[in-house]
Amino acid sequence: MSRRLLAIIGAVLVVGGILAMSSFFIVDQTEQALVLQLGQPRRVIVEPGLWVKRPFVENVILYDNRVLDFEPPHEEVIVSDQKRLVADTYTRYRIVDPLKFYQTVGSEAGVRARLSALVSGSLRRVLGSVTLNDILSVKRNAIMVQIRDDVAEQAKPFGIEVVDVRLRRADLPEENSQAIYARMQSEREQQARQYRGEGAEAAQNVRANAERERTVILAEAQRDAQRVRGDGDGQSIKIYADAFNQDKEFFAFYRSLQAYREGLHGKDTSFVLSPEGNFFRFFGGWTGEGAAGGPPSGTPPRASTSPGGAAGAGSPPR
């Protein structure tokens, strides 16, 4: 009897445990629950805690109440200036009405498919009314707000709230990008050639102007130098002429001394000249009487004591 009683008690406990496990469920703080009875919605639970349901009759579907992310595949759209763009977006949404959500889309996979269609349609509609420059300018934020409001309005029947729709990337297609880059490179090379040609022309003009100025400066300098030299030569000639006119004999004597200094300054200088020549006329005296009158026959020539210090001798100087 005791064994049978223990078996009955054990069976009751097992059945009670199964009933308890089927009757109680926990709703986490990050979740919300929809209770169904034989597939029909009965109640929505949005508060976290321990809840009770009818075992084997009711079942619970849990939905996340946090902000969820969705990244649809990138879309190729045409903007108003007929340029093709590859747009990459992401969407953030929250389930606010589990009952509508269950009745319309059923699961997160279903809502993602519907959101992908909504975002694609809104993206094509909004971007089709703006230009590429608008997307790349400060108007980008206003464009994204317009797309978000459009998608949020269409997503309300699904029991979700669209928090944000962001245009993450808007680029040209790869083939268009390569063509644009090639065209930009060609334009930059053409512009560089133009700049180099203009620079070479400017440099040539600068060099020509500098050469012309150099020629003018040199010509003016030569003209001024020749004028100065001419003035100097004229003054020199005048000074020499005035000095010569003051004392012609002394001037001739002085010039002869200069000729002696220039002609006799070398160590190996030799002259084969007659002492009675005109070159040695001042060796007898500073008045030039030694060579002009000539020394008496058999009388040795006397040394000159005149200014200039040139000593005369009977033999030819060397």
* Domain positions in the chain: 2-64, 68-172, 179-246, 247-318
The confidence score (pLDDT) of residue 196 equals 93
The confidence score (pLDDT) of residue 176 equals 66
Q: b or e along 50-69 (b: 16 or more beta carbons within 10 Å of the residue's beta carbon)? A: ebebeeeebbeebbebeebe
- Which residues of the chain have a pLDDT value below 70? 1, 20, 175-177, 266, 269, 271, 273-277, 283-318
Q: CA angle, 258 as apex, 256 and 262 as ends, to 5°? A: 115
What gap in Å lies between CA 70 and CA 89, rounded to an integer?
9
The percent of residues in the chain predicted with pLDDT above 70, rounded, is: 82
Query: Which residues make beta-bridge pairs with 78?
Result: 84
CATH class, domain 68-172, is alpha beta
The confidence score (pLDDT) of residue 214 equals 93
pTM value is 0.51
